[in-house]
Amino acid sequence: MANIIRGIIEGLLSGGVYALMAAGLSLIFGVMEIINIAQGVLVILGAYLSYQLQQTYHIDLFVGLLITMPIMFLIGLIIELLFIRPLKRERTMFSILVTYAVALIIEGLLILAFTNTPVKLSAWYVTASVYVGTINGTQLYIAYIYIFTFILSVILLGGLFWLLYRTEFGSTLRASMQNRTAAELIGINVERISAITFGIGVAVTAAGGMAFGTTRTFNANDSYDLISRLLVIIVLGGMGSLRGALVGSLALLVIGDVTAEIWSASWSSTVFFVLLVVLLLVRPQGLFGQREGRKQ
Amino acid sequence: MSILEAQNVSKAFGGIQALDACSISVEQGKITGLIGPNGSGKTTLFNVITGYERVDTGTITFNGAPITNAPPDKVFRLGIGRTFQLTRIFSRLTVLENMHVAAQRQDLRGLLSRWSSSHEQRRALELLDFVGIAGLKDLPAGNLSYGQKKLLEFAFILIAEPQVILLDEPAGGVNPVMIRHLADRIRLLNQRGVTFLVVEHNMEFVMGLCDSVTVLHRGTKIAEGPPETVRTNPEVLEAYLGA
Amino acid sequence: MRMLKIVVLLVLVVVAVLFPLQISPDDTTTTVAVFALMFAAWATAWNTFSGYTGYIALGHAAFFGSGAYALAIMCQRWHVGLSDVSLLGLIIPADYAPFLLVPVAGLIAALIAVPVGWIALHTRRHTFIVVTIAIFFIFQLLAENNIGSLTGGTAGLEFHNPSWIYPFFNFPFYYAMLIILVLALLVSWWVRHSKYGLGLLAIRDDEDRALGLGVKTGPSKLVAYVISALFAGMLGGVWGYFLGSVFPQSAYDPLNDITLALMAFMGGLGTLSGPIIGALIIEWARQNFESLPFIQNAQNPSGYYLIIYGALFLIVVLLLPEGIVPTARKWWMRWRSRQQSASGSDTPGQAEALAVGQAGSGEGGNG
């Protein structure tokens, strides 16, 4: 029982981080109608960046985000400019192929730079845990890192929401999301918005990467698993919906962690995917997505 | 005798009531015009009749039988064809192939055989000739001019020999010569027994062609009758001027 | 023109059949040839669904892998490959017996594709791609988790090794792949020129409009999907036997998926010869690539692979979005019309045909 509770709590806490990465993906889709398959490997890149900063310069992981996030933002801008912007026809389909290709390249570069040896980010707060309470006589401990990353994701997600709903930039972004052509007609520079949105969507992977890297050992090969989970999350939540990204992440992670506790870790991924399939049967547009009507 | 009827159909999109207890009826063998200011619900009505949208309430009947919310392929097979404001044709297929898509035979043998079987090919060519684009039959449909695409759309609807044809702004964006050509084709078909329901903004076209005109405003019918009567109806004038 | 195409095709087939026997190349070449044929067949079958309908089915390796596993499981359970089999009065030597089950493996994959396709095709194009990826990973995970103790978990399953020796060893596999390729090509060609195939192409252009014109879009797509899975399954079976073992990472390899899509795109989606050309080019490139010195000496060759694959893919998608065959055809038409106008012939239809976008159909033959 205590294990299940811990599973739920950890799931909720780490769900926040996944929500961040998934939100980035959803945001990109919402504004630009493209699916960034490279998001998974970019998370790993973010993790390696944090790792490098820590190993070489002994910069704390959270502090290091002040460096890695802008770097990832720039990388996002570059990817958008070089590879997404030139797409003219059937952008969504080609964007999948293009970002998949970019993901392969980045993965290759990571393997060359860091080899396949798994590494892990560590700090005092990764191993130390705090006493939370007692259930059924078992004492419950949660590692500090979960709490910290949860706070981080709350801050970042909160920042994202603030940006979207309380700033002028945010409203132009949301306008582009709703109707690209109309936005252009009223003078919004949709291309610039697209580039910035992509940058933001990628920048959050820096935070996600750092959190990801603390919870387990990783190497470049983990990108596949990661992007599959992220895609499942946004399809589950509804593509283009930030709320959906949040709810989807939490749901999937809690269920995954609980499954790992009750059953075994290797089944938790399968459960993810099976859930998705079941959901799509009932609700093809996801939880918060818009039902695609027939085109008239 | 009415062949196609909408009874008390309502349809809302979010906060907007596109159709509001709308009832219209289309007489068999006649050409009926459907007019109304922008936003009056004309295209929505088409969509609802042909299954591209579901109704919130109300019924659609065809030949006395209800077809409310039937899917588009069923509606087409029952005998109602329709065109779209922005022509929807298959741009990567040739003109002739476009015709054959609409001529889909439902049985297994029909599907397995090569598409250029003689009877269908002949009929397709006949129809292309009828609308006047037979010379373009091997061109990719995407290369046609706007007016030619409209003719193509018209032609492949015909290949299924529909009883009723819904035309959504057939004269829109087309030059006067083509408009006259279209009107001729419509009249010819009508003489052979095809019923038409035509949405149009081009008043001259409507008044010259239609036996009867129905006017929609804000999702509901406000007038109906022969063109001359409708044209001078004060409510109709107000709807257009006020809208 | 049509006659010419058929003659060329026959010549190619004859060459392909004689290749291992008469030209007697070395083992590495025949091995490469086996893989080249495999990918060519797979890409052709994949194109029969994705190329014609426009629904990009990634995760197709799920069926490939399932076919491989199906054959492995059958061979293990029924002890196929150990003793001779008598069939319809003929004695089939033990080593060839597994080939008899290859069509069954394909059928199993096809059966799996029915519910999978039904679920996946419920969604629209963008979501569809994602769902196919997700389903692919489900399969990989199921295999890893040794579902029903069928799959042997991460260790996988093994085939009984045939007793052939090199250079002969590769030959049965070569011909098996060739046969499947020819079948796939025939099916693809026939679909292309049938009313059914026309419906698929219409779905690619404007699915709702096709539906509105009476095309049964749901069943049409599903049937094409299942056909492509059938071939993938058969190829997986032969591949598994060729390698001698299957395990989750190899049978369900995401890189295979992307390679497949790349081949079809590079060659020309929706054309008949495109996937084959794409497959041959990429296999040839991969082979030469592997023998480059800096790869051989590299610590992490997989890193280089990925970068080059990715770069190649990017180049193809960004510069040649239509693929080689349609682009070549365009240039050919342009060159031809320039010739004709140079000789003063007036062909307005030709001029308009210049602006040909995708491969429509025109005449039959090599699409």
The reported pLDDT for the residue numbered C170 is 80
User: What pLDDT does A141 receive?
Assistant: 75
Cβ-proximal residues to A235 (8 Å cutoff; 6+ apart), any chain: A276, A280, A286, C127, C130, C131, C134
Q: Among residues of chain C, what percentage have pLDDT more than 90? A: 23
Q: Does A266 touch chain B (CB under 8 A)?
A: no
Q: Which residues of B touch C210 (CB under 8 A)?
A: 90, 101
As a whole number of angstroms, the distance between CA C169 and CA B6 comes to: 72
DSSP assignment of C236-269: HHHHHHHHSEE-HHHHS-HHHHHHHHHHHHHH-T
d(CA A149, CA A158): 14
pLDDT at C47 over 90: yes
Position C25 confidence tier, pLDDT thresholds 50, 70, 90: low
Whether residue B167 is predicted with pLDDT greater than 90 in this model: the reply is yes
Cβ contact C202–B142 (<8 Å): no
CB B194 within 8 A of CB B164: yes
In a domain? residue A237: yes
Sort out which chain B residues have CB atoms less than 8 A from A296's CB and list them: 43, 47, 52-53, 84
Q: In the prediction, which pLDDT does A72 show?
A: 94
Chain A residue closest to B48 (CA)? A296
Q: For the CA atoms of B8, B9, B13, B14, what is the dihedral angle to 10 degrees?
A: 40
What band does C343 get if pLDDT is binned at 50, 70 and 90? low
Residue type, position B237, single letter: L
Residue C349 has pLDDT above 50, yes or no: no
- Half-sphere exposure of residue C19, counting CA atoms within 13 Å on the CB side? 22
* ipTM higher than threshold 0.85: no
Mean pLDDT of chain C: 81
Supply the pLDDT for residue C46: 95
pLDDT for residue C363 is more than 50? no
CA angle, B153 then B159 then B163, to 5°:
95
Q: How confident is the model at residue B115 (pLDDT cuts 50, 70, 90)?
A: low
Instruction: Check CB contact under 8 Å for B43 and A296.
Output: yes
Backbone phi and psi for residue A257, each to the nearest 5 degrees, phi listed first: -70, -40
For residue A291, pLDDT beyond 80 = no
Q: Which of C213, C308, C317, C319 to mutate to test the interface with A (most CBs of A within 10 A)?
A: C317
Greater pLDDT, C168 or A205: A205
Stronger pLDDT, A289 or C41, i.e. the higher one: C41
The answer to whether C334 and C315 are in contact (CB under 8 A) is: no
CB contact under 8 A, C196 and B111: yes
Residue A20 is assigned to a structural domain of this protein: yes
- Backbone angles phi and psi of A121, in degrees to 5: -85, 135
Lowest mean pLDDT among A171-175, B139-143, C106-110: A171-175
Q: Residue B208's pLDDT is what?
A: 87
Instruction: Yes or no: say if C311 and A98 are a contact pair by the CB < 8 Å rule.
Output: no
- Closest-approach residue (CA) in chain A for B85: A296
Please give the pLDDT value at position A224: 81
pLDDT digits (tens, 9 = 90+) for C135-160: 888 888 788 776 666 767 777 788 87
**Model pLDDT for residues A34-47, shown as the tens digit of each residue:** 889 899 999 999 99
The band of C230, judged by pLDDT with boundaries at 50, 70 and 90, is: very high
Q: Does B78 touch chain C (CB under 8 A)?
A: no
Higher pLDDT among residues C356 and A162, named by residue: A162
Q: What is the mean pLDDT of chain B?
A: 86
Residues B133/B164, Cβ–Cβ less than 8 Å: no
Task: Read off the amino acid at residue B95.
Answer: V
pLDDT of C187 > 80? The answer is: yes
Vertex A90: Cα angle to A88 and A91 (nearest 5): 65
Q: Is the pLDDT of residue C23 over 70?
A: no
Which pLDDT value is given to residue C188? 93
Judge: B73–C214 Cβ closer than 8 Å, yes or no. yes
- A56 close to B (CB below 8 A): no
pLDDT value at position C222? 95
At residue A73, the pLDDT reads 94
* H or E element in which residue A7 lies: helix A2-32
Q: With pLDDT > 70 as the criterion, what percentage of chain C qualifies?
A: 86
Give the nearest chain A residue to B50 (CA atoms): A296
pLDDT at res. B104: 66
Q: Name every chain C residue with its beta carbon within 8 A of the beta carbon of A239.
A: 126-127
pLDDT band at C113 (very low <50, low <70, confident <90, very high): very high
User: Is B227 a residue whose pLDDT tops 60?
Assistant: yes
pLDDT confidence bin for B62, thresholds 50/70/90 = very high
Distance CA A230, CA C127 (A): 13
Query: CA torsion, points A72, A74, A80, A82, in degrees to nearest 10?
Result: -120
Instruction: Give residue for tokens 């630009």.
Output: A32
Convert the pLDDT of each residue in A219-252 to its tens digit: 888 888 788 788 878 888 887 777 888 888 888 7
Using the Cβ of B84 and the Cβ atoms of chain A, whether some distance falls under 8 Å is answered with yes
Local confidence band at A60 (pLDDT 50, 70, 90 cut-offs): confident
Task: In whole angstroms, give the CA distance from residue A234 to residue A289.
Answer: 9
Helix or strand run (H / E) with residue A15: helix A2-32
Do the domain assignments include residue A122?
A: yes
**pLDDT value for C27:** 72
Q: Which letter, b or e, does each residue of A209-224 get, where b requires 16 or more Cβ atoms within 10 Å of its Cβ?
A: bbbbbbbeebbbbbbb
- Domain contains A296: no
d(CA B61, CA A228): 47
Q: Confirm if B139 and B97 have CB atoms less than 8 A apart.
A: no
Query: Is the pLDDT score of A290 beyond 70?
Result: no
The answer to whether C307 and A108 are in contact (CB under 8 A) is yes
pLDDT class of B114 with cuts at 50, 70, 90: low
Mean pLDDT along residues B93-114: 74
- C363 touching chain B per CB within 8 A: no
Q: Which residues from chain A sit within 8 angstroms of residue C145, using beta carbons?
A: 266-267, 270
Q: Cβ contacts (< 8 Å) between B134 and chain C: which residues?
A: none
pLDDT category of residue C177 using cuts at 50, 70 and 90: very high
Stretch (H or E) spanning B198: strand B195-199
Range of the structural domain that residue A91 is part of = 2-282
Average pLDDT over residues A175-201: 81
In contact, C276 and C45? CB cutoff 8 Å: no
Q: Is the pLDDT of residue C354 over 50?
A: no
Contacting residues of B for C350, CB less than 8 Å apart: none
Q: What is the mean pLDDT of residues C72-90?
A: 79
List the single residue in B50, B91, B97 with the smallest CB-CB distance to C361: B97
Contacts of C206 in chain B (CB under 8 A): 88-90
In a domain, A236, yes or no: yes
A221's tokens: 């090969």
* Cα B88 to Cα C209: distance, rounded to the nearest angstrom: 7
What is the pLDDT, as a whole number, of residue A59?
82
Specify the higher pLDDT residue, C234 or B174. C234
CB contact under 8 A, C56 and A92: no
Instruction: Write down the H helix ranges in chain C.
Output: 2-22, 27-46, 52-53, 61-77, 97-120, 125-144, 170-192, 195-212, 217-243, 248-251, 254-267, 273-290, 293-296, 301-319, 324-342, 348-354
pLDDT in tens, C236-290: 999 999 988 888 888 888 778 878 888 888 888 888 888 998 898 888 877 777 6
Cβ of B160 and C213 within 8 Å? yes
Amino acid at the residue A280: L
Strongest mean pLDDT among B109-118, B180-189, C225-234, C315-324: C225-234
**Which residues does C156 contact at the CB level (< 8 Å), separation at least 6?**
C72, C245, C246, C247, C248, C250, C251
Element (H, E) at A13: helix A2-32
Alpha-carbon torsion, ordered B225, B227, B233, B236, to 10 deg: 90
CATH of the domain at A61: 1.10.3470
Q: Establish if A170 belongs to a structural domain.
A: yes
Tell which of C200, C213, C217 to mutate to test the B interface (max B CBs under 10 Å). C213
Q: Collect all residues of chain C within an 8 Å Cβ-Cβ radius of residue B143.
A: 352-353, 355-357
What is the average pLDDT score of chain A?
Answer: 81
The total of structural domains in chain A comes to: 1
Cβ separation B72–C211 shorter than 8 A: yes
Inter-chain contact C310–A228, Cβ cutoff 8 Å?
no
DSSP B195: E
User: Which residues 207-236 in chain B show a CB within 8 A of chain A?
Assistant: none
Cβ contact C246:C69 at 8 Å: yes
pLDDT at position A57, please? Answer: 87
Q: Does B52 touch chain A (CB under 8 A)?
A: yes
User: Can you tell me the distance from the alpha carbon of C105 to that of C75, in angstroms, rounded to the nearest whole number?
Assistant: 11
Inform me whether the pLDDT recorded for C360 exceeds 60: no
**Taking a C-beta distance cutoff of 8 angstroms, is the pair A231, A131 a contact?**
no
Banded pLDDT at C231 (limits 50, 70, 90): very high
CB burial readout A275-294, b (16+ within 10 A) else e = bbbebbeeebbbbbbeeeeb
Q: How far is C2 from A35, CA to CA, in rounded Å?
A: 42
Q: How far apart are CA A234 and CA A242, in angstroms?
A: 9
